[in-house]
Structure 1
């Protein structure tokens, strides 16, 4: 139901047995969620150097750990290892990070002589141990040992995008990023030890130069291997190469990518000749990597084509648009259903049906990715599945495909909505109603899908899934044994139907029902980022954001929970951020907003004593947010130290700003981000608030440059909307999208006229009144658009306009029951969230911005026509 760490599920996912050994006398021990660290207390390690990684399959893991423990303890060498089998499996799973996957153990030699000796001796001791290749490292021979140069101590610096990242020191003593990519690439100033040179030569000797295929581009990467578009140089045919790495890319039952690729080849041979299945061309190995060659289908995925055609994400939709899309969608769904039927006739269950695994070639639907396909006669459940289409444990064999087909009938009209179903299966009834209200879909077509997803009536006797069937997230055998009770959804107060106070109180019930004051790491469940240091406290994902949203919307104060937050904020764990949305400055702001100014000022004073000058520029975690917070408290108190700190930050952000051309034309990925929270709009807002405080017009010039930097990364869609260009998509949202930029443009235009900015604001406006958003949340969903409209993103759309009322009503797409109240899902819809940035508290804030009788705003964003300033009304005035 909620994101959690394995630390809180040790009974279900225990550590390796060796973790129970007593810590050696004179040694230090430290545990994290992922690693167990050990080292002699009297031995100081260098801050960086060559480290040794050991890779191992799960079958060899305990033997490997026994050998390493005895070796390292006996020679007083520091080391760490993964806590348990579950962590090890996750680290080697299909979508684990390619740069760090495969590591079971890390060993820290004190120098190069120690490095050479440890490698020589452990290479003998670990003979016969097998494991995945660690892509970031250099492999020693054919065994499980790998080496990489990197940091031993945890140090940080800013990278080229001004993000705070792990660092190492260059020869001039400057901290630079410690790069950890999916290839061996030591820092340019580091000389490879001579004894490693033969291993580098052996690595470089393995190439694809002699093969009859020329790789043209990368289609996809996973931890299991790549998928490449290539040309057969013998025939000129365009083909697809699928790569599989041994012992990597594990699925739910531990099968690696090679086992699945071999299986896929068997399935393609069995299905040869079907028009809906790519033809297999070849199968070969290079080194220990396996490659499957298949027909290239020149077409988008069904997901991509659906998004391209979808009328709900256009600036306007007519009944004719809805009818045209419906006709196309029904035609494509018919093609997919016929394709699945043809597989079943050949005795094959597809097992991983979702719109990303269907290619559209005209009106032809082609199924791709048969690595988890199975035989009908085996009557099993898939070992990998997309969460929005993953059948519950009682759907086996062909029934699993039928379940996924039913989900596709809904998801093609409401993108990603079926991801909500594992959280509360009766939600499907509500989703079906919303789809029928929006599109002219035949009722019987949708009703049949609903019946398939709900399943037939069952007794209370729990179903017994196949032994090999993994549980779907959020489900167990007992939760799917009975037909879901739809009463909770029917009785749920929904936005657009229930009153503001009913909605707010229902959300408060859900939030309070989720509270866990007995835990140290979090009070309210939220986004997975809350498990980073300080993430359970902050505004975005932690307790501060929830308590802030409840207080400013009139939902009340909760002294017990305020005490929980205060206790941890004044004794934060190592690594807790200072930033506004991700750290202690945001906690201070929340304390002030709920009526605890003394605590707020004490926390601000604590933050001012920290080293904040090395932080990035952003509003979310960097100097822009801290500067705005200091301006807020400085204007409220007149404190000279706070105001001086704000001034120093404004100067530093201005010095780092650069020119309009200092940023590329794409946001995110390897490039600096655009947008309010992480881009140049945050610094622009800082300059505008500093101008309000000082009257210095040079600050308006800086704000103009910053805003032009973000607009440089925006593009017009076909219907005229101006959104942030991210390369793989355009982004309209509050966080990194154009809506957040638009709010700062509005603030700028209240202070200085600019024709370019006026036009840009006009073109951004429609992004906030689209009919469908994949998510409901504040940062990246509909709640953020509602808040943006309340804050004046569109001058022609006020708080009480029909457009705002429509957006409020459409929050019902994501409404979920929890704890006798109203809750909303977090990022990617995979779990419920109560936090401000991704979950229920953010929706409450958005609803309050348009429905509450007292002002409810985003921090530092004023409604149109309000006097310049950032002060939050006292708590007593918001009751």
Structure 2
């Protein structure tokens, strides 16, 4: 799970929210410092910034960081701020104690964890700043900032990086940037190790420290590390050899990875060692020895065989593959029921030994090929009589606020997590259970029916009797679901806010508030598709947001999408205004695919070509320019693709749709060849799976989804085959279609979930000219019925969870609006794609760049001429 989702889940009980907007925990007051009244001050909820009057920061340079333990934050900040004020050095610090705790928590990103204060000295003052701060803070301690070079034994660190907020898109993701000497932006990489850009000169006074860093060696008798199992802010977990035996080496960093009970990784490692010396039972990982070295604490553990339970479940679960039969379901049921008995027995052994484990979840059980189970990770264990409250926990395995409060401490907390774990064996959707009290019973009922569980099985799995009375997940008519979604979206809009209209994915705070994917216009499009109209108040909010935002091209995150959306919503004057600003904005040549790149801008412009025929020629110019600069479309390199970089949104299949759209308008068969080569490049990144499907290979996972997986490739390929039936690529359609048919899908969303698979199957049935398998129609109906597994009751209507399932989302890409778009599209039999990626309703002669309509061009030709001149 991306660490951003837990961070954005803390601020609100129901929706993802910016951490800076959530209510502060009781007693959590902002850090404050005294600066002259002339200094500029700003606070974004995470950092508080100070800058002396008249200061002018360069874009980048060597910056100084200070870390600190939680109890010493305020006195350190007083010392450092006084120095910065005296020397007139711009600086920032984490805004409040809760933000500091989160930044150095066990689950915090280890690359930048530990930073409490950042100072921006001029290069001429860097040495003096490091020396004097090292002297006045020598008595303070803090976690090691892994991306930096440590100046002294105190909490002072230094690294080269950006002073200004500059970004470059890497695989479509805005990434902090610095400027290369040649003038272009490159990623400002924060790795767990001091590694300044190769073109940066390291100051002479830092070179001895760099040399010392390279001379650090483990002491005599240190286990020989052979591999890496896991890294976290608390330390690393490694495979190793110790005195001739294969072991696991667990590292604990001092002052780092602090949990809610105030313990750092070292204190928890010491507690784990004490616990494991007492618990020497089969199925519980054994402690070999423990020691300290290089300032860290280490545990040497017996090497338990197997893979984490969640990996074992996914590898065996029959419903993650297409076409699971009754025999496969029965085989899995027997394996899971036997495993459940062993899981229960091990937890009972821990309790009988006088301890509560404190962190029961699938990642802490290893399962081998024989079904043997080992419980690991006892760092949160406490003596059972203490009945200690749960300090950490995996989402879905800690009792939520509507559960019995007694289930949040001691052995009762273990038993609560165990019950959720047993359900996870069959329905690994556990975070959903925390979103509403009805969800657990609903999932238990579905598992009972789908896996044909007996009353004895249900008792062994600790299912509640009330689950038998839960409403089935598949008994809601489509129109009823559409109505419930519409009512939810209208009720949960927040027009009183200016930063967003609906709560959505955390990505919404990095994109314009109006954007189609994660912003307001995508949700308006879904409401319009479902009802034929949108409330004027919400439309005005979007219009104001478009006008207020800086000019930004792009389809799903920029003004091309806004123009296309306004055209769809019947507001041509707003569409023309947005397009004019889009054409005046810089082209985002480095943005991948149609999501934010020029190809998407061309597709958005084509939605207005019915009134502005000249836009067809402009779109062709953009495409030809892309084809000249990005011959990678035609390179069919095999091997994994970067995460999110394949398929419709950011991969070559999206460019293929632009080529096919232009072919419909211009009749140039060279465009078919380019579309075929683009799709072939995506197909080269797809791999066959045991069920016979083709799925997008990202190296660490296979994706069948519409936005960045094989379903999107299938959609583009079906569109190609409809225009070029003899394409040699047509033979791949059946395997691509099969990938969209698994019964179990983790998320419900449009870009990466069940809703997108539904649209893909519907479009393939219409467009694939018989290539879609007969089972595609059955799979589509099953997907629609099983949407109910993810539906969450709201005070008004029903909503759907976003990515990671931790909170609800209203946006088009990940949440309720995407489900609504899909259901309305299926009802109407059109819009069977992501918005604007279906072929636009523009009829043109096969030669020339004419389109239908006409009317007032509103200055578009002049804007095109200006854009070409630039």
Query: Given the alignment, which residue of 536, 546, 569 partners 1:559?
Result: 536
Structure 1 residues 440-499: Cα deviation after superposition (integer angstroms, max 9, x where no partner)? 222344367566699xxxxxxxxxxxxxxxxxxxxxxxxxxxxxx999x75xxx874333
Residues 1:543 and 2:515 aligned together: no
> Residue 140 of structure 2 is aligned with which of 113, 125, 129?
129
For structure 1, the residue ranges without an aligned partner over 5 or more in a row are: 455-484, 874-879
Match of 1:92 among 98, 104, 110: 104
Does the Cα contact within 8 Å between 1:500 and 1:852 map onto a contact in 2?
no
In the TM superposition, residue 280 of structure 1 has moved relative to its aligned partner by: 1.1
Say which is worse superposed, 753-762 or 768-777, in terms of deviation: 753-762
Aligned to 2:719: 747
Aligned to 1:502: 480
1:729 correspondence with 2:709: no
1:349 aligns with 356
Q: 1:424 to 1:528 in 2, by over 3 A?
A: same
- Output aligned runs, 1:697-776, within 5 Å: 697-753=669-725, 756-776=728-748
Task: For 2:794 and 2:23, locate their aligned partners in 1 and report how far apart those are by CA, in whole Å.
Answer: 25
Of residues 402, 405, 410, the one that matches 2:418 is 405
Question: 2:454 and 2:851 mapped to 1: Cα distance?
Answer: 53
The answer for the alignment partner of 1:35 in structure 2 is: 47
Residue 658 of structure 1 aligns to a residue in which SS? helix
From the superposition, tell whether residues 18 and 294 of structure 1 become closer, same or farther in structure 2 (CA, over 3 Å).
closer
1:238 alignment partner in structure 2 = 246
| Distance in 1 (alpha carbons) for counterparts of 2:133 and 2:91 | 13
1:568 aligns with 2:545: yes
- Decide whether the 8 Å contact of 2:517 with 2:812 is kept in 1: yes
Pairwise mapping of residues 610-759 of structure 1 onto structure 2 (< 5 A)? 610-633=585-608, 635-638=609-612, 640=614, 643-644=617-618, 647-658=621-632, 660-661=634-635, 663=637, 665-669=639-643, 673-753=645-725, 756-759=728-731
Per-residue CA deviation, residues 550-585 of structure 1 (Å, 9 max, x unaligned), is 10122631110111111111111x6x8532222333
Does structure 2 conserve the Cα–Cα contact (< 8 Å) formed by 1:792 and 1:863?
no
CA drift at 1:347: 0.6
Q: CA deviation at 1:688?
A: 2.0
More moved, 653-662 vs 343-352: 653-662
Given the superposition, is the C-alpha separation of residues 613 and 403 from structure 1 closer, same or farther in structure 2, using an over 3 Å criterion?
A: closer
Is the alpha carbon distance of 1:645 and 1:780 closer, same or farther for their aligned partners in structure 2, counting shifts above 3 Å?
closer
How many positions carry a matched residue from both structures? Answer: 826
Give the distance between the partners of 2:219 and 2:662, measured in 1 at CA: 59
Are the counterparts in 2 of residues 834 and 840 from structure 1 also a CA contact under 8 Å?
yes
Alignment of 1:162-177 (within 5 A): 164-177=174-187
Aligned match for 1:372, one of 376, 380, 386: 380
Q: Secondary structure at the match of 2:485?
A: helix
* Displacement after TM superposition at 1:754 (Å): 5.0
1:642 positional shift: 7.7
Tell me, in whole angstroms, the C-alpha distance in 2 between the residues paired with 1:864 and 1:537: 22
CA change 1:533–1:486 in 2 (3 A) is farther
8 Å contact 2:226–2:240 — kept in the other structure?
A: yes
Indicate which of 32, 36, 61 corresponds to 2:73.
Answer: 61
Q: Which residue of 1 aligns with 2:755?
A: 783
Residue aligned with 1:750, SS: helix
Q: Could you tell me how far apart the structure 1 residues matched to 2:775 and 2:349 are?
A: 53
1:512 aligns with 490
Match of 1:850 among 808, 812, 826: 826
The answer to whether the 8 A contact 1:577-1:621 is kept is no
> What secondary structure, in the 3-state scheme, does the structure 1 residue paired with 2:632 have?
coil
Q: In 2, distance between residues paired with 1:664 and 1:801? A: 31
In the alignment, the residues of structure 2 paired with residue 13 and residue 555 of structure 1 have an alpha-carbon distance, to the nearest angstrom, of 46
CA distance in 1 between partners of 2:851 and 2:502 (Å): 27
2:228 is the alignment partner of 1:218 = yes
> 1 CA distance for matches of 2:106 and 2:114?
11
Question: How many angstroms does 1:548 deviate by?
Answer: 0.5
What CA deviation, in whole Å up to 9, does each residue of 1:749-772 have, x standing for no partner? 122245542122111111222111
| In structure 2, C-alpha distance between the alignment counterparts of 1:743 and 1:591, rounded to whole Å | 25
Aligned match of 1:251: 259
Q: 1:281 aligns with which of 285, 288, 291?
A: 288
* 8 A Cα contact 2:172 2:596, kept in partner: no
Instruction: After superposing the two structures, state which structure 1 stretch, 613-622 or 823-832, moved more.
Output: 613-622
1:439 offset after TM fit, Å? 0.1
Unaligned runs of 5+ in 2: 1-13, 854-870
Distance change (3 Å), C-alpha of 1:688 and 1:209: farther
Deviations 1:131-178 (A, max 9, x none): 11111100011111110011212333455x575533323333343322
Measured after TM superposition, the shift of residue 826 of structure 1 is 0.9
- Cα deviation for residue 438 of structure 1 reads 0.4
Deviations 1:711-748 (A, max 9, x none): 11111011111001122221111122101111011111
1:210 CA displacement = 3.9
CA 1:639–1:142 in 2, change beyond 3 Å: closer, same or farther?
A: farther
Match of 1:471 in 2: none
1:820 aligns with 2:827: no
Does the C-alpha gap of structure 1 residues 854 and 748 become closer, same or farther in structure 2, counting only changes over 3 Å?
closer
